[in-house]
Chain A
Amino acid sequence: MKDATITQRTPKLALGPVLYYWPRETLLAFYRQMSTTPVDIIYLGETVCSKRRSLNTDDWLELAEQLTAEGKDVVLSTMVLLEAESELKTLRRLCDNGRFTVEANDMGAVRLLSGKTPFVLGTGINIYNDRTLRFLAGLGAHRWIMPVELSRTTLACIQTQRPAGMETEIFAYGRLPLAYSARCFTARHHNLPKDNCQYRCLNDPEGLTLSTREGQAFLAINGIQTQSAQTYNLLPELAELQALGVDVLRISPQAEGTETVVAAFADCLQGVREPAAAAAALNAALPQGACDGYWQGQPGLQQVAALG
């Protein structure tokens, strides 16, 4: 990564925000560990449910300082579904932090960040075409993450038209964020009302698996968020991602093995491991298997590319 030409061509590795509810000590231990891995960018903050307060805003900002001091490029992520005034209040505080870049996951956040400071367009923002991307670039967005349901073909189209200076990030590894609701499905599973959820999602560090009545796992319940049960793994597509000029590859944290995933991506980017083999090794440890359908323009849950 010392050669400037390689730096330009090699995508950076980003660690997405933790999407689950983990206890404070677990979160802090996780980030202590991540600070020693080769991820370049770390997205911090609660994006799913404002009732999850293992860390409050001050704690997140303090953690951001620590990780910055350790050489990480920190971005503060914001909530996808903003309903209550208290949530908007936290959002304003994050958008006005004056120190760290912010990832907008709602157009309310885009409004608060527009024209003030460069910002990132997260998975919660629907950017399906280059015109929308150009409009948001005009307001100060300098990085966007492609909606996970879009394919390599659409990415190729958008990349040829993307505005100058705009970085493209791809959700490259993890359980896909598929949907958000007012309803908490974890509370529903435990027959509890959302207002008295008893923080049951603390018991599910990687969510609850949802299967069909014939035992086919396909979704994971994570509070108000629904994820894929399968893990999206684009490591085998590394060469194409680089050829398409992707700037950042996002790894979405899991409770177990995230450091192994980071190491596999980093090794492949440095050319010391072969992507297909490294991906196969990662996939072997996945309880519900891997998928790459979205990238291939197919139903998301499918695994299209042959696994090594």
Chain B
Amino acid sequence: MNNALSKPLELVCPAGNLPSLKAAIDQGADAVYIGFRDDTNARHFPGLNFDAKTAAQGIQYAHARGRRVFIALNTFPQPSGWERWRTAVDRAAELGVDAVIAADISVLDYACRQHPRLPLHLSVQGSAANYEAIRFYHEHFGIRRVVLPRVLSLPQVRHVQDHSPVAIEVFGFGGLCIMVEGRCLLSSYVTGESPNMCGVCSPAQAVRWEETPHGLETRLNGLLIDRHAPGEPAGYPTLCKGRFAVGDQVYYAIEEPASLNTLELLPELHDMGIAAIKIEGRQRSPAYVSQVTHVWRAAIDACRHHPARYAPKAEWQRELGKVSEGHQTTLGAYHRTWQ
């Protein structure tokens, strides 16, 4: 599958609204992924996402500039909600999107039967971390691309790439899920709402910030996620990024608040024939999208033109550090020692 050596790595950027989509396109994204304004996608946040009209405007903007738009329909419908997912697939097809990114078998099955010409990508929420799983989705639904969960080391990514019947997209930058996507129920355990069921993780309405004599406390549905000393930065209380007690130690027992940043892995990802790099952050601002897209466009171009001489520039890392969670970045699971 190393046919992509001649193909440039595609830059896939997030957009939670039209200004973000335009910013991504203006800064050089090859494709932008968006969601509709309901629980059919895994960023179902208040005030975020697209209705049919803004989606059409976004698609028009992108297509006029030779770029593509993908729509994420990557949550798992329960029987009572099926109509919303069915309608969303139909609407995506009518809008002329360049791909639907889906995870649930019923959604993939419907899309491939009803709209056989609509390209399908398997969402990261589909939890396909090995090539046998990828083959399953390819054989049954004709998926053209898979987004890998953020759990594989670099050699494992290469192994999957070498045996995959479809193109591989990997996460390059942004918020880092520690758990296998599509297989994490921590959020519903505490709040009743999870990415799979509701398209949210650690939802905003369950979050409380409280100044107390012990410091600033962040809570999720009443559960203490972290406590910050005066002057200590306090990030969004994502459940897995709090400080907890195990035995007699209090520490980031699951993961520190940090963003994934794989800028330094670009030559290797390019060499192994990865098709696309995905930037996380549909919930982030147009300024974030603009900044991150700008840096990654420059990096991918530099890597493509001079792979042997490529090294991430200090200014790129500085820019990305500014918009990273806790101003920290990590190579995540790509780097075996993280695991």
Contacts and interface: CB of A to CB of B under 8 A. Distances in A.
B34 to A, nearest CB: 23
A44 interface: no
A210 B135 contact: no
B77 A129 contact: yes
Contacts of A178: 184-186, 189
Contacts of A33: none
With a 10 A CB-CB cut-off, give which of B184, B194, B243, B254 has the most chain A CB atoms.
B254
A183 B182 contact: no
A213 B219 CA distance: 11
B189 A131 contact: no
Nearest to B339: A194
Interface string B63-102: 0000000000000111110100000000000000000000
Contacts of A189: 246-247, 249, 253
B152 A88 contact: no
Tell me the dominant secondary structure on chain A's binding face. mixed
Interface stretch (A57-65, A108-116, A258-266, A278-286): A108-116
Given A83-B152, A108-B136, A179 B196 contact: no
Contacts of B136: 107-108, 110-111, 114
Contacts of A226: 179, 186, 254
Contacts of B243: 213
Interface in B160-199: 178-180, 182-186, 188-192, 194, 196-197
B130 A83 contact: yes
Interface string A269-308: 0000000000000000000000001100111110000000
B137 interface: yes
B185 A299 contact: no
Nearest to B138: A111
Contacts of B205: none
Contacts of A184: 339
Interface residues of A, number: 69
Nearest to B334: A182
Nearest to A84: B156
A274 to B, nearest CB: 29
Contact of B79 (A82, A158, A214): A158
Contact of A210 (B105, B196, B246, B333): B246
B2 interface: no
A15 B193 CA distance: 28
A203 B250 CA distance: 20
Contact of A213 (B197, B224, B247): B224
Contacts of A124: 183
Interface string B229-270: 000000000000011111101100111000000000000000
A184 B255 CA distance: 11
A65 to B, nearest CB: 27
Interface in A70-94: 80-85, 87-88, 91
Interface string B102-114: 0111100110000
A199 interface: no
A271 B105 CA distance: 40
Nearest to A209: B246
Contact of A179 (B128, B130, B186): B186
Interface in A125-158: 126, 128-132, 135-136, 147-150, 154, 157-158
Interface stretch (A5-13, A215-223, A233-241): A215-223
A131 B192 CA distance: 24
A129 B250 contact: no
A209 B245 CA distance: 8
A221 B252 CA distance: 13
Interface of A: 80-85, 87-88, 91, 106-112, 114, 124, 126, 128-132, 135-136, 147-150, 154, 157-158, 161, 176, 178-185, 188-189, 193-195, 208-216, 218-219, 221, 226, 228, 293-294, 297-301
A208 B246 contact: yes
Interface of B: 76-80, 82, 103-106, 109-110, 126-133, 135-137, 139, 150-153, 156, 159, 178-180, 182-186, 188-192, 194, 196-197, 221, 223-227, 242-247, 249-250, 253-255, 333, 336-339
A134 B183 CA distance: 21
Given A83-B151, A85-B159, A213 B190 contact: no
Nearest to A114: B136
Contacts of A149: 185, 188-189, 194, 196-197
B247 to A, nearest CB: 7
B183 A132 contact: no
A213 B151 contact: no
A149 B194 CA distance: 9
A176 B338 CA distance: 26
A81 B79 contact: no
Nearest to A218: B223
B339 A135 contact: no
A108 B138 CA distance: 12
Given A107-B136, A129-B79, A215-B245, A179 B180 contact: yes
B182 A126 contact: yes
A210 B337 contact: no
B246 A131 contact: no
Given A218-B190, A299-B189, A300-B188, 11 more contacts: A108-B130, A111-B133, A126-B104, A129-B104, A136-B105, A157-B80, A180-B183, A181-B151, A193-B336, A211-B246, A294-B188
Contacts of A106: 127, 129-130, 132-133
